[in-house]
Amino acid sequence: MPPAPPPIRSPTAGPALPTEIAPGVFVGGRAAAADFPGLRVCVLDAGEDAGVPSERLPVYDPEEERPLRENLEKIATAVRDARSRGEPVLIFCGHGVRRSPLAAAWYLHRAEGISLGAAYDRIERVRPFIERPEQWLRGSGALEAPSVVSGGPDGVRSNGSATASGPGATMPPALRLVPLSDDRPAAERLLTAAVEARARGEVPPQDPAPAIAWAVECLRSGSIEGRMVRDADVPVGVVAWEGTPELGRRIRAIYLEQGAGSADRYAALFDLAEREFGPFQIVPAGWNGLAREAEAELLRSRGFARYARSEMRLPFGTPLPVEPAPPGVRIRAVGPDDEPALAAHHAAAFTGHFDSYLFRSDPDRRRDSERSVREMLAGRWGEFLPWASTVAESEDGGSLGSCLFVRAPFGPLLISLQVDPAVQGRGVGRALTLASLHALRARGESIVALNVTEGNEPAVRLYTSLGFVRTIGPSSEWYSERLVPVRPDRAATRRPRSTDGSRGGAANRSRSA
């Protein structure tokens, strides 16, 4: 495991100290290199002393008075390769003012498909004392225009012709989609890299191991579909999905390796995949090597809107109130014969709810709820915990709702809270959740977590009132406004306000993978 990157230094601390200009990529002076715990790339002119062991790649030829494009390309490749291994990188020169910012700007230009000017702007925001030597960059359009890949940065092909980037764009000729089975080791490597890149982009960054294990198992079992992306004969990316064309597929990974992904290439990849295998309903955010603004422009132009989900946890030692169940309601643990009732709760509670579109795989809502509950009880998302899961019943034995828990890698996870709409707003969801939490506390469980869609304010208010706090996220994804006809903040019809201050609040889904 490579060492963690050094802390980000304040630009006011001095030019020689390192500044993080992209995740795990630092710019600084020679003084910063001595203690840097990763790859050190020295860009000083030939003959100048680096002072420490490093990879030497000068970026400027003082005799010819020109930047060395071939070395800038080598630096971009070296940084990309180091980051794919999880290794931090320091690009350094004498003081971190002229040469190393040039190399860093070139890396951003190649990795994210932005212009050199935009790359310098980004670096200058965190390292305001850098210089842009005009004599080096004069005619920079000619410096940055040629592309090492077809359909390269800024929509320019290697032959200089513009590439299409709107809906219906054609695939750059060097890229093609092939079955994952064509090269299983490469497909597994790329899917792993896609999951790692997504985990690094979470707030805060997450351990990707559980998600990697799940994705690899899905790949090996064939339960996830997808295609590998080849540039000529070289595997450079992957797109993987679940779901059916009838309902809209859910993309689990869309990924091009660092240096291979730019806005026009991602646009062409997305459009070709959707034409052949779509339509796509849910798409992850945080595409590797693509600026957030470019990702947003690409997806919004195709009718997608952003939504977000957060993890909430109950801090250890949080006092749990002891409250009676609502009048006429009895709470008990889930029993072996409850599966049909749980499926009925699920179908009733999530009809017309945004969350129902996130995990749906059958156009028949009853069958889909039966499948969903069956998978929860069978342990797809972690060992089902019947002793911590609860059911609410009326005095005459009618089933009103349920709160279901599974054991995720970190501990108990509230996988689904579902209450019949006829009794939502009467405190049934709160009573179910409290009963489950008391059962977990009695067994000594110290971690309790759930996931909630931002905009589902009834659920957020309920969990906050019980002491839950946000611990991860919000983590953004995109949904098709054509295929998902309800917004996250309008997840269900309005219902009477309950005594705990929420409106219903009894439909929420969590997933651990």
pLDDT tens, residue by residue, 354-405: 888 888 878 888 998 999 999 999 998 899 999 999 999 998 888 999 999 9
Mean pLDDT comparison of 117-126, 136-145, 274-283, 448-457, highest-scoring range: 448-457
And the tokens for 28?
């600084």
Domain stops at, among 144, 164, 195: 144
Q: Are strands 89-93 and 66-67 parallel, antiparallel or unpaired?
A: unpaired
**What per-residue confidence (pLDDT) applies to 69?**
86
Whether residue 162 is predicted with pLDDT greater than 50 in this model: the reply is no
Do 340 and 436 belong together in one domain? yes
Do 92 and 202 belong together in one domain? no
Residue 150 belongs to a domain: no
pTM of the entire predicted model? 0.61
Amino acid at residue number 493: T
Q: 3-class SS at 479?
A: strand
Contact 250, 279 (CB under 8 A): no
Do 332 and 266 belong together in one domain? no
And the tokens for 71?
């070395």
Residue range(s) defining the domain that contains residue 462: 312-473+485-509
Do 123 and 34 belong together in one domain? yes
CA 73, chain centre distance (Å): 28
Do 376 and 244 belong together in one domain? no
Do 323 and 460 belong together in one domain? yes
Do 273 and 329 belong together in one domain? no
Amino acid at residue number 449: A
| CB-neighbour burial class of residue 151 (10 A; exposed 0-12, middle 13-18, buried 19+) | buried
Neighbours of 57 (CB within 10 A): 19
Rounded Cα gap, residues 308 and 452, in angstroms? 9
Q: 3-class SS at 290?
A: coil
Q: How far is CA 504 from CA 159, 164, 194, 427, 462, in A?
A: 60, 47, 38, 8, 9
List pLDDT tens digits, range 5-34.
333 333 334 455 788 888 889 999 888 888
Do 365 and 285 belong together in one domain? no
Rounded Cα gap, residues 45 and 143, in angstroms? 19
Residue 274 belongs to a domain: yes
Domain stops at, among 128, 144, 160: 144
Residue 413 belongs to a domain: yes
Do 349 and 282 belong together in one domain? no
Q: Which run of H or E residues covers position 198?
A: helix 184-200
In 3D space, the residue among 289, 293, 257, 296 whose CA is nearest the CA of residue 109 turns out to be 289
User: Which positions ≥6 away from 173 have C-beta within 8 Å?
Assistant: 150
Rounded Cα gap, residues 150 and 269, in angstroms? 13
List pLDDT tens digits, range 281-321.
999 998 988 888 899 999 999 999 999 999 999 998 899 99
**What per-residue confidence (pLDDT) applies to 506?**
53
Do 140 and 194 belong together in one domain? no
Domain stops at, among 273, 302, 331: 302
- Give the number of domains in the chain: 3
Do 194 and 138 belong together in one domain? no
**Any idea what the CATH number is for the domain that residue 357 is in?**
3.40.630.30
Q: How far is CA 163 from CA 90, 141, 231, 267, in A?
A: 33, 17, 16, 10
User: Which positions ≥6 away from 259 have C-beta within 8 Å?
Assistant: 76, 77, 80, 110, 111, 148, 149, 289
Contact 279, 480 (CB under 8 A): yes
Do 184 and 297 belong together in one domain? yes
**What per-residue confidence (pLDDT) applies to 509?**
63
Rounded Cα gap, residues 298 and 302, in angstroms? 7
Residue 160 belongs to a domain: no
Q: What are phi and psi of 84, to 5 degrees?
A: -65, -25
**What per-residue confidence (pLDDT) applies to 161?**
29
Residue 165 belongs to a domain: no
| CB-neighbour burial class of residue 483 (10 A; exposed 0-12, middle 13-18, buried 19+) | middle
Residue 6 belongs to a domain: no
What is the rounded average pLDDT of the residues 346-353? Answer: 87
In 3D space, the residue among 465, 452, 505 whose CA is nearest the CA of residue 319 turns out to be 465
Residue 162 belongs to a domain: no
And the tokens for 12?
């006011």
Residue 358 belongs to a domain: yes
Contact 420, 348 (CB under 8 A): yes
List pLDDT tens digits, range 36-86.
889 999 999 887 888 888 899 999 887 777 888 889 989 999 998 888 888
**Any idea what the CATH number is for the domain that residue 88 is in?**
3.90.190.10
